[in-house]
């Protein structure tokens, strides 16, 4: 499994860096997410405690030190090795192919934690049992660097070797995978954002024109989820939700590839959220993230999705934005057929009943959700569909 995963990882990196630029981040998220999920299933040592405050503080400190060191080294290497400078410019171009929020979401929620689950959890874990901690760390560092060679980018391969060596050494000394995922994210996110901010000559540039934010931390497109059976057969159903007729709508078009990549992204997000009780993936951009599980009308199975949640007394409001698409997200369509659902926020799981806010209620609540995440206003401008707000209230029989 580990050997096959290394080959899959290398192939995925090659596809991401050599394939269409617009698919770069989705390809990385898809490949790494699949490897991370596989590692969490087959490697018992990857199943450990949740990340704590000490992990976050320590990871911030280590990540800041690594960023400072890499900035100094980067300045020297760019001047000394023209190939590195040219490849760094190619990397800068890739960072500009996606909205910064979308890029950061992929890195924070999928790529960094999934890489640690696979490389330090599965690969290094199994090598340690055969070679011992020190040799396993060296072998993992070598394999991690070699997996990046097919990218054809010397800057990426060199950075991967340095980062992989540091993380493998930390793992050999007993660091948890949660801490390593945080260190990984706290190094790679500011590094790539700084690269994005550079000009074509490698020097810092002024602020770019604003671009619409993409809400990839709280996706409207869900994933099939079989971990929670959310409603007993004897539960009393409430009235079905209603919404205004759709009419002719325009807006963002979601491709088949986009839907597939989104499902993988959400599956990883939900797995990390539930494994850590919401410590990972539980808050984004200052907002609480919840896992909403609805019922698929076709077969009655559960369908889960991570969403921003906005508390309103005992109720919670969620937004069916689907990032400004012309159609409603699947979880919303599920609620139109059956308004009973389950909402998980952190470690608390609650049975809820959904209701679409009517015109006056929506007008009152809309400014609040936009204050929580300004991207919703951008999504509404993209589509003629009025983005629904949904109130989730505790079900009386479960309150």
Residue 93: is its pLDDT beyond 90? no
Residue 57: is its pLDDT beyond 80? yes
Percentage helix, strand, coil, to 5, in the chain? 55, 15, 30
- pLDDT value at residue 221: 44
- pLDDT value at residue 295: 93
- pLDDT value at residue 254: 60
Residue 144: is its pLDDT beyond 60? yes
* Closest-CA residue to 156 (of 167, 166, 144): 144
Least confident of 78-87, 210-219, 354-363: 210-219
CB burial of residue 321 (10 Å; 0-12, 13-18, 19+)? buried
pLDDT confidence tier of residue 214, bands split at 50, 70 and 90: very low
Mean pLDDT across 106-120: 88
Least confident of 27-36, 70-79, 194-203, 293-302: 194-203
- pLDDT value at residue 342: 96
Note the Cα 397 to chain centre separation in Å: 34
Residue 210: is its pLDDT beyond 60? no
* Closest-CA residue to 303 (of 224, 227, 228, 230): 224
CB 151 within 8 A of CB 18: yes
Mean pLDDT across 19-29: 84
Mean pLDDT across 307-316: 94
Least confident of 10-14, 16-20, 57-61, 381-385: 16-20
CB 296 within 8 A of CB 334: yes
Rank 22-26, 81-85, 199-203, 356-360 by mean pLDDT and report only the highest. 356-360
Residues whose CB falls within 8 Å of the CB of residue 370, separated by 6 or more in sequence, listed in order: 376, 377
Mean pLDDT across 187-212: 57
- pLDDT value at residue 46: 63
CA-based R_g, the chain, Å: 22
Determine how many CB atoms are found less than 10 A away from the CB of residue 357. 16
- Three-state DSSP class for 307? strand
CB 370 within 8 A of CB 376: yes
Global pTM value: 0.50
Mean pLDDT across 72-77: 74
CB 119 within 8 A of CB 39: no
CB 294 within 8 A of CB 338: yes
- pLDDT value at residue 168: 92
- pLDDT value at residue 227: 40
Residue 370: is its pLDDT beyond 70? yes
Percent of the chain scoring above 90 in pLDDT: 27
* Closest-CA residue to 104 (of 285, 370, 287, 292): 285
Report the alpha-carbon distance of residue 219 to residue 221 in Å, rounded: 5
- pLDDT value at residue 240: 53
Residue-averaged pLDDT of the chain: 80
Residues whose CB falls within 8 Å of the CB of residue 115, separated by 6 or more in sequence, listed in order: 32, 35, 36, 181, 184
Mean pLDDT across 269-287: 83
E strands within the chain? 223-224, 283-284, 287-295, 302-312, 315-319, 340-345, 348-356, 389-394
Report the alpha-carbon distance of residue 202 to residue 195 in Å, rounded: 8
pLDDT confidence tier of residue 253, bands split at 50, 70 and 90: low
Largest CA-CA distance found in the chain, in angstroms, rounded? 72
* Closest-CA residue to 184 (of 71, 59, 38): 59
- pLDDT value at residue 36: 86
Report the alpha-carbon distance of residue 15 to residue 170 in Å, rounded: 29
Mean pLDDT across 192-207: 55
Residue 48: is its pLDDT beyond 70? no
Determine how many CB atoms are found less than 10 A away from the CB of residue 50. 14
pLDDT confidence tier of residue 232, bands split at 50, 70 and 90: very low
- pLDDT value at residue 96: 79
Residue 220: is its pLDDT beyond 70? no
Q: What angle do CA 98, 99, 105 make, to 5 degrees?
A: 95
- pLDDT value at residue 59: 86
- Three-state DSSP class for 64? helix
- pLDDT value at residue 237: 53
pLDDT confidence tier of residue 285, bands split at 50, 70 and 90: confident
């Amino acid at each position: 499994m580990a050997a096959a995963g290394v080959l899959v990882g290398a192939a995925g990196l090659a596809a991401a860096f050599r394939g269409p630029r617009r698919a770069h981040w989705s390809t990385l998220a898809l490949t790494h997410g699949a490897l991370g999920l596989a590692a969490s299933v087959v490697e018992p040592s990857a199943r450990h405690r949740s990340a704590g405050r000490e992990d976050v503080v320590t990871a911030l400190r280590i990540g800041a030190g690594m960023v400072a060191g890499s900035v100094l080294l980067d300045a020297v290497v760019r001047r000394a090795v023209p190939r590195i400078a040219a490849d760094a410019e190619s990397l800068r171009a890739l960072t500009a192919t996606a909205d910064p929020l979308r890029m950061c979401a992929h890195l924070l929620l999928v790529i960094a934690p999934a890489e640690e689950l696979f490389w330090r959890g599965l690969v290094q874990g199994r090598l340690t049992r055969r070679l011992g901690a020190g040799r396993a760390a060296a072998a993992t560092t070598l394999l991690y660097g070699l997996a990046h060679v097919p990218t054809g980018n010397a800057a990426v391969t060199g950075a991967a070797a340095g980062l992989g060596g540091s993380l493998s050494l930390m793992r050999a000394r007993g660091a948890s995978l949660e801490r390593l995922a945080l260190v990984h994210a706290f190094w790679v996110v500011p590094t790539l954002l700084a690269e994005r901010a550079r000009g074509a000559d490698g020097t810092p540039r002024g602020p770019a024109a604003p671009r619409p934010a993409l809400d990839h931390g709280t996706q409207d497109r869900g994933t099939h989820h079989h971990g929670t059976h959310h409603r007993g057969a004897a539960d009393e159903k409430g009235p079905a939700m209603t919404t205004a007729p759709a009419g002719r709508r325009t807006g963002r078009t979601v491709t088949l590839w986009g839907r597939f990549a989104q499902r993988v992204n959400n599956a990883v997000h939900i797995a990390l959220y539930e494994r850590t009780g919401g410590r990972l993936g539980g808050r984004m951009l200052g907002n609480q993230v919840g896992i909403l599980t609805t019922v698929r009308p076709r077969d009655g199975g559960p369908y889960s999705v991570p969403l921003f949640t906005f508390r309103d007394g005992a109720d919670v409001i969620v937004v069916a934005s689907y990032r400004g698409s012309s159609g409603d997200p699947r979880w919303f369509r599920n609620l139109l057929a059956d308004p009973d659902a389950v909402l998980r926020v952190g470690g608390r799981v609650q049975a809820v009943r959904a209701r679409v806010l009517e015109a006056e209620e929506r007008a009152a609540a809309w400014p609040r959700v936009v204050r929580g995440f300004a991207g919703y206003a951008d999504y509404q401008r993209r589509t003629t569909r009025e983005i629904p707000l949904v109130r989730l209230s505790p079900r009386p029989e479960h309150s």
